[in-house]
Chains A and B, each alone.
Chain A
Amino acid sequence: MSILRLGLLRGGLEIKEFLRQRESVVFTLAFPVILLFIFGSVFKNTIAPGVTFSQYFVAGMVASGLVNTGFQQLAISIPMSRDLGTLKRLRGTPLSPISYFIGKAIVVTAAMAFQVALLLGFGALLFGLHLPTSATLWLRFTWLILLGSACSTVLGIAFSSIPKSGRGASATVSPIVIILQFMSGVFFVFSDLPKWMQDIAAVFPLKWLTQGMRSVFLPDSFAVKEAGHSWEIGKIALVLLAWLIAGTYFSIRSFKWSKE
């Protein structure tokens, strides 16, 4: 069977496994909704005419959801599977690592789709979230999700070679993700952050993903308030592509099935 077909099969299997782990389903999928509920209830102010904090925050939550379901999940779960010997067993079969990666990308994208639907649904129902109305914006939203998921997946796989054990992984990965979220304009308005922090965040993909999501969820008039005084859509695509290429290269180069 071809590498791609096996990858699709693995994707199906991983989705099945994921859905059967009830705690992780609830945690991964509902966590952004809970955060939105808390932040939306606390910050009722508007940050620009016609832009509520919830509206701003949803853009950030969609972007950081990509980091959570992809990068964070994989960078923790792969070292755990390595500890359990699951990867060693797969290594002993004719399965190509590429098929394994494709399976991971599929489960990440599927989880992301669920999460986004929940977030947008709750946001629209409870916090007066305005959903994009034009086809152009939905199209942009779609490529941002797909490119973001792919980027997040390969970076998660690449990072999974770094922690020495499954337990160490969560201690290493979680702080990185939380710090990035604070610096990339997920919890705070990005242009309010100190310049040096903005500069550091600009190296990483999360800042660009959140900016892209703001271009989808916020009115065009808000673009002038961005750090670059525009949405910089072309630049967003370039930065994400660069990270995707680097992440793919490193995930293939450094991926380890077992600890030796």
Chain B
Amino acid sequence: MTSQHAAISVTGLRKSYAGKDAVAGLDLEVKQGEIFAILGPNGAGKTTTVEILEGYRTRDAGEVLVLGEDPANPHSGERTWRNRIGIVLQSAADAPDLTVAETVHHFAHYYTKAKDPDDVIGLVGLSDKSTAKVATLSGGQRRRLDVALGIIGSPKILFLDEPTTGFDPEARRAFWELIRTLRDEGTTILLTTHYLDEAEALADRVAVINKGIVLEVATPESLGGRATAPALVTWSENGIPQSESTHTPTHFLQTLSARIGGEIADLAITRPSLEDIYLGMIGEL
């Protein structure tokens, strides 16, 4: 039995399509109030897993609890369960002839604890577009509308699928701030993303999924032994690039400094990036 306090718990989840396993015995636990990112290559089983959690797909086997209920058959009733979750889908082209404000105000009626629609429009940075028709929005603005519709019902859990695709860097930073604010208000956030910097900036923990199973769950800083991995010291001597992989970069640097004396040319100390670790884990490096 999994913990009562988990926002999401998954054990032994299986789903196959035409005899091919998309999800092959997957276990996962997301704590309440954390930002949890799922990373994995295309076809790893991310979308299938998340759509089972969202109640969009049925599963073949395994236990799934989202807010203590089975998404395939919530005992409190489908509407009551859905009232507490928010979903931001990968692509949804909604009513193009309605304005931003009309759309958000309308969706607010679906939920018992809806936030103020105009506040939400402000929160996603669409205030000056609120009277614009949805059809006239840019890709990034549309994405922000998707997010507004996902959070309008004050969800306990928010599912975010590739949320910042099409955002400019500034909008992305603003969006990350918004997600952190939601987390600080107590919302659990399940994020799937292709952007490793996004996972690193936002997630409290990440899970790497490949071939339908979880390879590892860890903080972005410690994934794949990243925290204890050797650091790479690079510098130049007489114009020739040099490098040294070491577990004791401080000690190495003192020795190096004593030997060279004065400024060391092109000096840098780097730890493996999340991307290096991730690519190594899924066998692409």
Q: B-contacting residues of A (Cβ < 8 Å)?
A: 1, 6, 9, 13, 16-17, 20-21, 84-86, 88-89, 91-96, 258, 260
Contact = CB atoms under 8 A, between A and B. Distances in A.
A17 B98 contact: yes
Given A85-B92, A88-B92, A94 B110 contact: yes
A6 B109 contact: yes
B235 interface: no
A6 B106 CA distance: 10
B97 A92 contact: no
B7 interface: no
24 contacts: A9-B106, A13-B98, A13-B102, A16-B102, A17-B97, A84-B94, A86-B93, A88-B56, A88-B89, A89-B92, A89-B94, A92-B56, A92-B82, A92-B85, A92-B89, A93-B111, A93-B153, A94-B78, A94-B79, A94-B82, A94-B111, A94-B153, A95-B110, A258-B56
Contacts of B107: 93
B54 interface: yes
Interface in B174-193: none
B98 A16 contact: yes
Interface string B144-167: 000001000100000000000000
B94 A17 contact: no
Contacts of B94: 84-86, 89
Contact of A1 (B54, B78, B97, B109): B109
B87 interface: yes
A6 B110 contact: yes
Interface of B: 54-57, 78-80, 82-83, 85, 87, 89, 91-95, 97-98, 102, 106-107, 109-111, 149, 153
Given A13-B102, A13-B106, A94-B79, A85 B93 contact: yes
A260 B56 contact: yes
The B interface, classified by DSSP as helix, strand, loop or mixed, is loop
A92 B54 contact: yes
Contacts, number: 65
Contacts of A6: 109-110
B110 A85 contact: no
Contacts of A89: 87, 89, 92, 94, 149
Nearest to A99: B110
- With most chain A CB atoms within 10 A of its CB, the pick from B79, B91, B95, B149 is B95
A84 B95 CA distance: 10
Nearest to B80: A94
Contact of A93 (B57, B82, B98): B82
Contact of A21 (B57, B80, B85, B97): B97
B98 A85 contact: no
Contacts of B92: 84-86, 88-89
A92 B110 contact: no
Contacts of B149: 89
Contacts of A86: 92-95
Given A84-B94, A92-B55, 20 more contacts: A13-B95, A13-B98, A16-B102, A20-B97, A20-B98, A84-B93, A85-B89, A85-B91, A85-B92, A86-B93, A86-B95, A88-B56, A89-B92, A92-B85, A93-B110, A93-B111, A94-B80, A94-B110, A95-B110, A96-B79
Nearest to B90: A85
B57 A94 contact: no
Contacts of A13: 95, 98, 102, 106
Nearest to B84: A94
